[in-house]
Structure 1
């Protein structure tokens, strides 16, 4: 019986880890949403059309989500200079948890923490976190995946900015 349970557990783990990290294809239009920020003001993704948006889907308790936040923090000045908006959608956390989590972190000036009510989780089919999407000025998905290092994110944003200026 123990070997059956082990085999079953291994099968489930294999299934979970074989799932793709992305649910949207490059070039898809980003699903719009409207969520409250930490002050309760409603923020829509669509209000940032025409700008590059980094959309992070995560929680406060996930270790890899924390690592992704550190990578974004490394780019705070670059993101500010590039006028990139960072929308951080917290999927399972309340306002107090998010405020505690963000305290003392290096954040870009265009950093907007949002509290998901389930609509983003559903619209973006979130089953793995962290998930980081880059949305171009034309509102199309340029990247949808898991953890990305600061150097790669900067390279991607510079490429989008170059396209925009051509």
Structure 2
């Protein structure tokens, strides 16, 4: 049992190193993409320039992705009040898997669910999920990392609302 824990710990450290190396830096332009939504409409990230966008990259089967969805649902009233877009890109799931997932898991009511065709995984160099990014009104990355609590997310966004998105 102890050997299994050590192996798991080392595996997580290796994965975290890969994410740190591939994460987008503060101030980098957000890589643009265009993907189909569950509603059949096409979503293009750059069409939302001028708005704060939370971008969650994950899957339906990942336990930590589910926890991040719960945290986003907890922050939903704050996000809705401040007109912040919440976009979830499902990286390895079918339309049916996503529909079933959204029917039973907590998530923000205004969530925009998208089906990745591989371009987001490539453009954002995704190795570890969930990945939560915050894109400011100027289309710059202000946060790229793993799990973030509802309160930490709100604390990150509040200064952007007060300072006109300067970080």
Q: Under TM normalisation by the shorter chain, which class is it?
A: 0.7 to 0.9
Q: How does 1:1-166 map to 2 (within 5 A)?
A: 13=11, 15-21=14-20, 23-164=23-164
User: Under a length normalisation based on structure 2, what TM-score does the superposition of the two structures give?
Assistant: 0.87
Equivalent pairs counted in the alignment come to 159
CA distance in 2 between counterparts of 1:126 and 1:165 reads 26
Deviation at 1:18, TM superposition (A): 3.1
Cα distance in 2 between the residues matched to 1:17 and 1:136? 25
Give me the whole-angstrom Cα distance separating, in 1, the residues matched to 2:165 and 2:133: 22
Q: C-alpha displacement at 1:47, in angstroms? A: 1.0
The CA RMSD over aligned residues, in Å, is: 2.3
Indicate the structure (1 or 2) with the bigger Cα radius of gyration. Answer: 1
TM-score, normalized by length of structure 1?
Answer: 0.88
| Contact 1:76 1:106 (C-alpha < 8 Å) held by counterparts | no
* Deviation by residue 1:116-154 (Cα, 9 ceiling, x = unmatched): 000000000000000000000000000000000110000
1:64-102 deviation line (CA, Å, top 9, x unaligned): 000000000001111110100000000000111111101
Contact 1:57/1:129 (CA < 8 Å) preserved in 2?
A: yes
Whether contact under 8 Å (2:89, 2:116) holds in the other structure is yes
Query: Please, which moves more after superposition, 24-33 or 109-118?
Result: 109-118
